[in-house]
Structure 1
């Protein structure tokens, strides 16, 4: 899979570190029970299809990038800096 870094151009995905879903997870309250914390720490959706994922360009410029891709076909639709995606 190839990922287009907004700074460095197209690169092999091995230069990047996958962080997870680009949508922030709702952190449980500090006094939430063990079941809520277990769910937050260990359970994630595993969608088949289009996703928006957060990747870190570890082997390059160090940018945080939101990658819109399809998890079935591995096609990358678009990328943008995470900072710009939040605004």
Structure 2
């Protein structure tokens, strides 16, 4: 699989570190109980289809990327700098 870094161009996926789902998880209240924390720590969705994932360009420019990828085919339909998306979200709240 090749990931096209917006800063470095197309690179082999071995240059990147997979962090997980790019959608923020809702952290339970500290007093929520053991079951809520067990679910938060150990259980994740495993969708078949398009997902947004967080990747770190470890052997390159050290940028965090949000990669839109189909988990069934590994086809990548988009790569964005996470910092650009964060700035867009911050700007929308202003």
In the TM superposition, what are the counterparts of 1:26-41 in structure 2 within 5 Å? 26-41=26-41
Greater C-alpha Rg:
2
Greater share of helix: 2
Q: Which one scores higher on RCO, CA 8 angstroms, separation ≥ 6?
A: 1
Q: Give the equivalent residue in structure 2 for 1:22.
A: 22
Q: State the distance in 2 between where 1:71 and 1:33 align.
A: 33
TM-score (norm 2): 0.88
**Correspondence 1:76 to 2:66:** no
Structure 2 unaligned residues grouped into runs of 5+:
89-94
Q: State the distance in 2 between where 1:57 and 1:31 align.
A: 36
Q: Give the equivalent residue in structure 2 for 1:63.
A: 63
Question: Across the two proteins, how many residue pairs are aligned to each other?
Answer: 87
Structure 1 unaligned residues grouped into runs of 5+:
none
Deviations 1:17-73 (A, max 9, x none): 111111100011111201111111110000001011111111111100000110011
Q: Secondary structure at the match of 2:79?
A: strand
After superposing on structure 2, the runs of 4+ consecutive aligned residues of structure 1 that deviate more than 2 Å are none
